[in-house]
Chains A and B, each alone.
Chain A
Amino acid sequence: MENLIVTTPERTVMEHVDQPVEPPPADESVPACTFQVKNLSIWYGEKRAIDNVTLDIASNAVTAIIGPSGCGKSTFIRALNRMHELVPKTRVEGTVLLQGEDLYLNDVDPAIVRRRVGMVFQKSNPFPTMSIGENVVVGLRLNGVRDRKFLNERLEKSLRMAALWDEVKDDLHKPGTSLSGGQQQRLCIARALAVEPEVLLMDEPCSALDPIATAKIEELIYELKARYTIVTVTHNMQQAGRISDYTAFFYIGRLIEIGPTTKIFTNPTDRQTEDYITGRFG
């Protein structure tokens, strides 16, 4: 029994406390903004989907957009890379500044905007006729890149960033659709990263995935925010709480409230936000 006594006078309880491995970030001031959205309104024909929204999106942070179905979440993030223009009869008022540049000026090429602002969708959508490798570098090829060494380097780098390299490095020639749902979604993230965007938009990236695949994507989002500004739409309140630094609540096309996620999920300012996140809506 005496073997159970391990305490000596030199030992302290404090020994059990993990020491910080790196100093906390020193700068707690107002974060830099990647997007500045001012008085944005969007119509689909006669229907106004976004109603006079003004907000800033912080750089190298995850901003979650939450709100009930039809509140304009997806329209809003699509407006951040002009993807909504693919829907006929859309009209936009207001300004969207990306690093201070207005995305909606007449001389701005939407294709270049979409290269700078990548997007991942709810349902993974690898190109069905392409291999895993081809799926990743298709964006670069479409932009005229032909250098095989460069493409191979970017392929590996993108798959590594998407935490997929180790799982697929020996199967790069296999069809993208041969992967599991979670792997396909990470493949789509790798495809978006391959063109080295400044921002990653994600429209419910985990809603079709099982909990393990969801956890991998969430972990990936956490790692990617060191390099990218991420804006994600989610219906999952717990996910918004876990992965985001800022949360914006939309309702009937309007921005009701945006703030640090901890604040929104412990003490939201607006009654409508409180009712929505606590499940009292409608």
Chain B
Amino acid sequence: MIAPKHILGTFDEALASLRNNVLMMAGLTERSLERAMKGLFNRDDNLCANAIADDEEIDQLEIQIDRDGVAILLRFQPVASDLRRVVSAMKLSSNLERMADQATTIARRARKLNRHPHLDEVELMRPMYEHAMAMFKDSVDAFVREDVDLGRAVVLRDEKLDELNRVASDKLVARMAKDPDQLRGYLNLIFIGRCLERVGDHATNIAEDAVYAAAAEDIRHQTHAASV
């Protein structure tokens, strides 16, 4: 449902600007992750360098979003759905910044791998990458469209990513034992897998924040809460 405009036009403008910066940050984070992973798969150091360079702009956007969010809280004292949107936007930016840090780490590890002969096990990262990116894009879609069902569905998909990471790590550890000369390379891949798993965790956080923004429902830590 499209909410009617605020009587105060500057409030609408401030909210739109905040949202736009969050979406810009999400777009840059997506690009950074793609560049880092393509840098790994295609053994392209330039792409890795671009991914690392992207981080600066994303960091600046995080600062800007925090500043704008605080200004909105101060100037307009939002309540109800407006308040939830501002709080969620600020939380999203924090998760996006951490995702971009994962992209930077992946790019740095990929550059190290690119200095050595190709490892077939790099392909173990592909299903994880595809799964993590799909979670990420869907979580942002859930936020943009205020789609509660999509947000909930993203959260459930994190378990599969964890499982993919476990399987990949086990295989890489087994390879380390058989091929100790490539130990550093396998270790770098384990770290990249760990980064992708963290990307999924942040996508989960974004999906949870999307559900909160849309429906004022806190779906975090539900399995834990149920078991206590």
Using a CB–CB cutoff of 8 Å, the interface residues on chain A facing chain B are 237-238, 241, 265-268, 273-275, 277-282
Contact = CB atoms under 8 A, between A and B. Distances in A.
Closest 4 pairs (CB-CB, A-B): A267-B216, A265-B79, A280-B4, A279-B6
Given A238-B77, A265-B79, A279 B216 contact: no
Interface stretch (B80-88, B134-142, B194-202): B80-88
18 contacts: A237-B79, A238-B77, A266-B84, A266-B216, A268-B80, A273-B80, A274-B3, A274-B81, A275-B4, A277-B80, A278-B6, A278-B80, A279-B7, A279-B11, A279-B76, A280-B4, A280-B5, A280-B7
Interface string B64-87: 000000000000111111111000
B8 interface: yes
Given A266-B80, A266-B83, A267-B80, 17 more contacts: A237-B77, A237-B79, A265-B80, A266-B216, A267-B84, A267-B215, A273-B80, A277-B79, A277-B80, A278-B6, A278-B78, A278-B80, A279-B7, A280-B3, A280-B5, A280-B7, A281-B7
Contacts of A279: 6-8, 11, 76
A279 B83 CA distance: 12
Nearest to B5: A280
A265 to B, nearest CB: 5
A110 B4 CA distance: 45
Nearest to A282: B7
The range of chain B's interface size is: 10 to 19
Contacts of A273: 80
A278 B8 CA distance: 10
Contacts of A278: 3, 6, 78-82
A65 B3 CA distance: 24
A274 to B, nearest CB: 5
A277 B81 CA distance: 10
Nearest to B87: A266
Contacts of B83: 265-266
B6 A280 contact: yes
B109 to A, nearest CB: 33
Contacts of A282: 7
Interface in B191-220: 215-216
A51 B2 CA distance: 30
Nearest to B11: A279
A257 to B, nearest CB: 12
A273 B3 CA distance: 13
Contacts of B76: 279
A241 B78 CA distance: 11
Interface in B34-87: 76-84
Contacts of B79: 237, 241, 265-266, 277-278
A273 B79 CA distance: 11
Nearest to B4: A280
Nearest to B7: A279
A237 B8 CA distance: 15
A267 B216 CA distance: 6
Nearest to B82: A278
Interface string B1-34: 0011111100100000000000000000000000
Contacts of A268: 80
Interface string B121-133: 0000000000000
A40 to B, nearest CB: 27
A171 to B, nearest CB: 37
Nearest to B216: A267
A226 B83 CA distance: 30
A281 B6 CA distance: 8
Contacts of A266: 79-80, 83-84, 216
Nearest to B3: A280
B14 to A, nearest CB: 12
B143 to A, nearest CB: 17
A31 B6 CA distance: 35
Contacts of A265: 79-80, 83
Interface string B173-189: 00000000000000000
A281 B4 CA distance: 8
Contacts of B4: 275, 280
B114 to A, nearest CB: 42
A259 B7 CA distance: 25
Contacts of B6: 278-280
Contacts of A237: 77, 79
B7 A274 contact: no
Q: Looking at A241, A267, A273, A274, which has the most chain B CB atoms within 10 Å of its CB?
A: A267
A274 B84 CA distance: 12
